[in-house]
Amino acid sequence: MQLEKKIKVVNRLGLHARPAALLVQTTNRFNSEITIRKDDMEINAKSIMGIMMLAAGYGSTLVIRVSGNDADTAMKAVQELFVRKFDEDDEGEE
C-alpha cells in the first residue's frame, strides 16, 4: 500500500532536534518505507539527520510518503505528531 499526504509544520520552532527525534522514534516502529519531501529534496523519515537537514521551519509544507504493509497506521501516527505539534506549546521552549 502506498500513501501520500501533505502536512504543514505548525509548531513554532519547526522540525528542530527534539521533534525530529520524536519523529524518527515513531517512524522506526513501522516496517513501511517512509519518506519526507520538502521542495526538491526527499529524505528517509527514519533518519534524524535527514529530517534535520530539511530545516523545515514553521509554516513549511512537507509531503509524507509511506509505502508498505503497515502504511495506514504509520501515516496516521506521523500525522498525529504534526497535529500534536510534537507536544511543544506555541511559546516554544529552549
Partner 1 sequence: MEKNLKVSELFNTQKENFKLRLFTQEHTLQSEIINNEVSRPGLVLCGFTKLFAYDRTLIFGETEIVYLENLTEEELKNNIEIMCSFDIPCMVISKGLEPPKMLIEVANRCGHPILGTTLGTQKFHRLLASYLEQYFAPQTFIHGTLADVYGVGLLYTGPSGIGKSECVLDLVERGHRLVCDDVVQIIRPRENILVGMMNPKLSYHMEIRGLGIIDICRLFGIRAVRAQKSIEMVVQLTRWQDDLEFERTGLSDRTTKILDVELPLVQLPLVPGKNITVISEVIAMNYLLKQGGYHTAKEFNRRLLEEMDQKHYIDGLSE
Residue numbers at the binding site for partner 1 (CB under 8 A): 17, 28, 40-44, 46-50, 52-53, 55
CB nearer to partner 1: give 10 or 43: 43
Per the annotation, the verdict on 47 as an active-site residue is no
| Conformation bin of residue 55: beta by default, left when phi > 0, alpha when psi is -120 to 50 | left
Which of 16, 38, 46, 65 is catalytic? The answer is 16
13 vs 89 by CB, closer to partner 1: 13
Output 55 or 83, the one with its CB closest to partner 1: 55
Q: Concatenate the DSSP letters of all residues of 24-90 into one string.
A: HHHHTTSSSEEEEEETTEEEETT-HHHHHHT---TT-EEEEEEESTTHHHHHHHHHHHHHTGGG--T
Give yes or no for a contact between 12 and 88, defined as CB atoms under 8 angstroms apart. yes
* Closest distance to partner 1 from the beta carbon of 90 (Å): 26
Provide, rounded to whole angstroms, the least separation between the CB of residue 44 and partner 1.
Answer: 4
Q: Which residues are catalytic?
A: 16
